[in-house]
Amino acid sequence: MLGVEVNDILAASRIIAELDPKPGRLFGSEDVQYISADIFVHKVGDEYVVALNDEGMPNLRINPIYATEAKSTRAMDKVAEDYIGEKMRSAIWLIKSIQQRQRTIFKVAKSLVKFQRDFLDRGIEHLRPLVLRDIAEDIGMHESTISRVTTNKYMQTPQGLFELKYFFNSGISTGEGDFIASESVKSKIKELVDAEDAKRPYSDQRLAELLSDHNIVIARRTVTKYREMLRIGSSSERKKHF
Instruction: Tell me the pLDDT tens digit for each residue of 81-104.
Output: 788 788 888 888 998 888 888 899
Average pLDDT estimate for 153-161 = 93
- Sequence-ordered strand ranges (E) for 10-128: 39-44, 47-52
What tens digit of pLDDT does each residue of 2-41 get? Answer: 899 999 999 999 999 999 988 887 787 677 778 889 999 9
Top-tier CATH class for 171-238: mainly alpha
Average pLDDT estimate for 217-227 = 89
Global pTM exceeds 0.75:
no
Q: Decide if 146 contacts 110 (C-beta within 8 A).
A: no
pLDDT for 75 beyond 60: no
Q: Decide if 89 contacts 81 (C-beta within 8 A).
A: no
Q: What CA–CA distances, in Å, run from 196 to 53, 80, 175, 201, 203?
A: 42, 76, 24, 6, 11
Convert 220-234 to b/e letters by CB count within 10 Å (16 or more is b): eebbbebbeeeebee
Higher pLDDT pick, 140 / 125: 140
Beta bridge partners of 171: 181
Read off the pLDDT band of 74 (50, 70, 90).
low
- Where helices occur in 123-234 by DSSP H, the ranges are 132-139, 143-149, 182-195, 204-213, 220-229
Where along the chain do its domains lie? 39-167, 171-238
Give the model's pLDDT for residue 174.
Answer: 63
Helix (H) or strand (E) holding 161: strand 160-163
pLDDT for 177 beyond 60: no
User: Across all residues in the chain, what is the average pLDDT?
Assistant: 86
